[in-house]
Amino acid sequence: MSFATFPYLARVLGPHEFGVFGFATAAATYGTTLTEWGFNLSGPKAVVENRTNQDALNELIWSIIGGKAILCVTSLVILIIALQFNTQLAADFKVVLCSWLAVVANVFTMYWLMQGLERFKTLAIVVLIARATMLPLTFIFVKGPGDVVAAAMIQAGGPLAAALLSLLVAFETGVLRRPAVSPRAIWRRLRQGADMFVATAAVNLFSSANIVILGTTAGAYAVGVYSAADKIRNVGNIIPAQINQVFFPRISALFKARRNEAARLTVLGVGAVQLSTIVVVAGFFCGSSNISNFVLGAKYDGSAEILKLLALCALVGNLSYFIGLQILVPFGGARKRSLIMLIGGIVNVVAVILASPRFGAKGAAVSLLISEAIVLLLYGILIISNRELRRYCISGCVPLKRWICS
């Protein structure tokens, strides 16, 4: 669905206005990140723990919605303050405001609930319907560079539709009932998601920060080239990302009772994620120029090289993300994971600030690759130096070794 509208928007809006569109989307991503607060990871884990208790599930849902609502208001206040200091943000305020509707929608979007209940078919249907609803509107209302505001509003319409469908699914399955929430419950959920939030915020220091900094230092055209290549990379990375999300609740459920089985599943998951990523990266390296010209057109000069660099980032980043989420978090290493990702994010931001004024989009892509490699290296050092983590990984590899030998 993303790929159906993205090439059209890139060509119709042109590099400059597509850069404005990408800048507004990146700015709204910060609001979504604050509102999400790591609930996309801590939420499924809490659902797994309370599956059989309907009252606890209902309280969980409403406490997370309450926490998100508070954070949504906070993000809006931060946006208003940021307008006073960022001239690019002020210039594109209408577009940013339309994109910000997605932040409001995130308050009521409950993908985390469906993941925790392992209702992946339902989740897929909700996502498909939400995006399909907005698909024709893009082609109807976006005809040229002057329609960038409409493009932002339509894109935010997808999350709004997903939020409504999420509420409907939760109500129909019987887990969402009369509101049952208290300040204490909200505070408990915020504390539980704090470490996950730091890690998620660090991820945005790897991605959205690059676009925002590029827009401020190198202009909208550089954002357009970088954002276009990043969109192509993300479309190619859909399958590895979904594999990661599917494995998380299952490994979490197995970890306490059947740790050896969880270890085997972890090794299997790493293999599945990396194998699918290698296939995608190989395709991008072999056909980056043809892909860029076909999808974006000749105006996006330099996107092919950016696509190659970002593909390498996916190869390193997918491995480090899986290791951090599926190995460190179950062993109580959420805080260490968050700290390592934060270190990588800070390295990325500093590198982009230094490189983007001179090297533009290419400098931002290289900065991202360096920071992803640093995170993977630190994860490797942490696992090697910890006996329990080492044993867990080795125990997961033993059945695979036996299978290969046989």
Q: What is the pLDDT of residues 140-162, one digit of tens each?
A: 999 998 899 999 999 888 889 88
**Where residue 236 falls among pLDDT bands split at 50, 70, 90?**
confident
Instruction: Report pTM.
Output: 0.71
| Under 8 Å between Cβ of 27 and 195 | no
Mean per-residue pLDDT, 13-31? 86
Mean pLDDT of 110-116: 85
Two tokens, residue 46: 């809490």
In angstroms, the CA 198 to CA 111 distance is 20
Residue 404 confidence (pLDDT) above 70: no
Evaluate if residue 73 carries a pLDDT over 90.
yes
Q: What is the pLDDT of residues 277-294, one digit of tens each?
A: 999 999 999 988 888 888
CA distance 320 to 341: 10
Share of the chain above pLDDT 90, in %: 23
pLDDT of the residue at 405: 54
Amino acid identity of residue 120, one-letter, is: F
DSSP sequence for 229-285: HHHHHHHHTHHHHHHHHHHHHHHHHHHTT-HHHHHHHHHHHHHHHHHHHHHHHHHHH
Q: Taking the mean position of all CA atoms in its chain, how far away is CA 12?
A: 26
Residue listed under structure tokens 């990375």? 237
d(CA 214, CA 80) in angstroms, rounded, equals 21
pLDDT at site 401: 55
Q: What's the pLDDT tens digit per position in 203-228?
A: 666 677 888 888 878 878 888 889 88
CA atoms within 13 A on the CB side of 31: 31
Among residues 106, 81, 85, the alpha carbon closest in space to that of 28 is found at: 106
Q: Return the domain boundaries, the chain.
A: 1-206, 208-406
Write the DSSP string, 93-128. HHHHHHHTHHHHHHTT--HHHHHHTT-HHHHHHHHH
In one-letter notation, the amino acid at residue 168 is L
Lookup result for tokens 């990871």: 41
Helix (H) or strand (E) holding 124: helix 120-141
